[in-house]
Structure 1
Amino acid sequence: MLSPMLASFLPLLLLCRISFCQYSSDQCSWRGSGLTHEGHTRDVEQVYLRCSQGSLEWLYPTGAIIVNLRPNTMSPAAARLSVCIKPSKDSSGTNIYLDRNGKLRLLLREEEQAEGKVHCFSIQEGALFIEAIPRTDISRRITAFQYELVSDRLREEAQSPAAPCRPCTDAEMLLAVCTNDFVARGIIKDVGLEEEHSQVSVEISRLYRQKTRVFLSGGVRVRSWTGNIKMPMQCRVKPGDGEFLFTGTVRFGEAWMGCAPRYKDFLRLYREAELQGTNPCHVDTD
């Protein structure tokens, strides 16, 4: 059942105003104000964000906006992408729907946005229809979230409690070193528990790659890095002796663990694959 206000917008979708994003590198951001809707609150503004990640901030929401999230280059692989959004814990003033060919499905109520949890959906499920909740005082309402485009496989892993805890196969381990957002050799210093996940504190002795600065250098004269890697709580990770090869993805600026074999086990596997000529990429193991 659509709200009376939301239903009143549907015949007017062809009368939308269009707004494009500001971008830097492959990040897009959009910031708008509902005050521009005053006097014509039935307008629906089209917002286009064509980057792999970015953010949206809608101040004093009134009326509605449609947010189209797309990659910056179109290809057949784009159909296999998912969108993940992470609302700000201060986000309020709207309900968020998925709009596919004019059919709306509720994604997040106002109160659910304040939980700040990540929600993912297939890019094929449509655009975001963000409807302002009518209020006499909108001065303290701001709807804000970050978003990322990820592969459908990463979305399925994020939504499956068992997937991140399953040991990686040999092939997955070798491929992770070539394709993951970060690859680092180091030790586990500590494991802490947060609301819904474990936080693994690590000390890195060899940093092969990091997409963003999730591991920080100890200084010019110190050849080590430190940082935290998150894991689902049910994986029951514990501090252990010896070195590991940490691999994984970066989601909303946070490192999430993927394959993490003991380094000696990875080295054995890598050298066997090297002899057979089956390594998907080269790794400097000296």
Structure 2
Amino acid sequence: MGPEAVFWTLVLGLICIAEAGMMGDQCDWNGSGLTSSTERAVTPVYLRCREGSVSWLYPRGALRLLFKPPLPADERDFRVCVRVIRRPDPPDFFQNIQLNESGAPERFPARIFVEGVRRLVPLYAPDDGDVRELRCFRSRHGQAALYVEAEPEEGTKRRVAFFRYEARPLVRRHYDPATADCRPCSDSELEMAFCTSDLVSRGMMVGSEQREDLDTTQLTWRLTKLVRATAAHDAGDLADDDEYYRYEIDNSIEQTSRRPHKRTRVRKTRGLHAHVHVPRACGAAAGAGEFFLMARRRLGKYSLVCAPRLHDWKTLVERRNAEGTAHCFLQH
């Protein structure tokens, strides 16, 4: 079936089928194809955030995803990137590489099309021969929509079409800590990155690997002092939902209960590592020395924001804290 035929099949399904499933109007959407009474049903989903996820259990019929991210009044168009998840992401932090391995990828049970003018443009298909999990497209006249069409059912096997998305303005007029590029950060950008990043740590690069599936270079860091790590999840034996972290020097981690009625528990783990990604076009590689690492979670992975050498960062911290002009209290 060609893209045009698919388009009109979906449109007719949306018009003619009264039961089109639940509608979403949020950052994340979770739904099930079992709520649809027909394989031609189309579920409209409205995504009004800059980033989020879509999880479609037992996909059946199709979804129409309309992206409406919050943008400044004078910025109309934007770019959307979708990362198809075919296997669970490994833990954020690990002691050795073996603990950071994920299982074999599974077939993604849906095809994704960008809605164009009277036609659908293929964006992702399980058998399109492209190994990239990450696919991007641009809005048109301030509008962006995807059709996610379920593949034919295969018996009663449990299937989940899960992907993450990110929508960003086409032009960056101000510093945006959620995006990384190849140039060094200015002093003001370093300060903002420290205050807003999801991962802040001292570290040494111990390896690099090209990730064709993500179109990035994956840098492996040995963390020597982990200052802050937010939004961590699925961290194996290093975390659970009831804990927060206070990190100490010498690559150790202390875990302390935040609930007053629970007994304080302290556990130290040596040899903590993390993966941080940079665009493959930057040509990054492992370098000698200690750096001050600042990264933000993007599409489920840590993405590099700034990484000055430690002695340069210390100089900036001492000067800004002495002046009292920093956006937040800086540390090293």
Q: State the TM-score, normalized to the length of structure 2.
A: 0.63
Structure 2: distance between partners of 1:149 and 1:239 = 30
Correspondences of 1:80-99 after superposition (within 5 Å): 82-89=79-86, 90-92=106-108, 94-99=110-115
> Contact (CA 8 Å) 1:87, 1:114: kept in 2 or not?
no
Which residue, 235, 250, 264 being the options, matches 2:283?
235
Aligned residues: 266
> Letter of the aligned partner of 1:202 in structure 2?
R
Q: 2:322, 2:221 → 1: CA distance? A: 34
Q: CA deviation at 1:153?
A: 6.5
Structure 2: gaps of 5 or more residues: 87-105, 173-179, 239-251, 255-265
**1:96-151 CA deviation, whole Å, 9 max, x = no partner?**
22226865333223424973511233564422112346x6x643695613213343
Task: Measure, in 2, the Cα distance between the counterparts of 1:5 and 1:121.
Answer: 19
Bigger relative CO (Cα 8 Å, ≥ 6 apart): 2
Partner amino acid, structure 1, of 2:316: L
Say whether residues 1:270 and 2:317 are aligned partners. Answer: yes
Corresponding residue for residue 326 of structure 2: 279
Aligned position for 2:162 = 145
The residue number in structure 2 matching 1:159 is none
Query: Is 1:67 the counterpart of 2:113 in the alignment?
Result: no
TM-score w.r.t. the length of structure 1 is 0.72
Q: Does 1:118 align with 2:121?
A: no
Match of 1:165 in 2: 182
Q: Runs in 1 of length 4+ with deviation above 6 angstroms?
A: none
Q: Closer, same or farther in 2 for the Cα pair 1:120/1:30, shift >3 Å?
A: farther
What do you get for the CA RMSD once the two structures are aligned?
3.9
Confirm or deny that 1:9 pairs with 2:10.
yes
Q: How many Å separate the matches in 2 of 1:58 and 1:213?
A: 21
Asked whether 1:45 is paired with 2:43, we answer yes
Partner of 1:178, secondary structure, is: helix
Does structure 2 retain, via aligned residues, the 8 Å contact 1:122–1:152? no
Deviation at 1:60, TM superposition (A): 5.2
CA distance in 2, matches of 1:274, 1:205: 20
Deviations 1:168-217 (A, max 9, x none): 222222221122222112333x2042433233132231313433259856
- The answer to whether the 8 A contact 2:208-2:285 is kept is no
| Gap regions ≥5 residues in structure 1 | 156-162
The answer to which structure has the higher helix fraction is: 1
**Helix, strand or coil at the partner of 2:211:** coil
Q: Aligned pair in 2 of structure 1 residues 88, 149: CA closer, same or farther (>3 Å)? A: closer
Distance in 2 of aligned mates of 1:213 and 1:92:
23
- Paired with 2:170 and 2:222, the residues of 1 have a C-alpha distance of 26
- Aligned sequence identity (%): 23
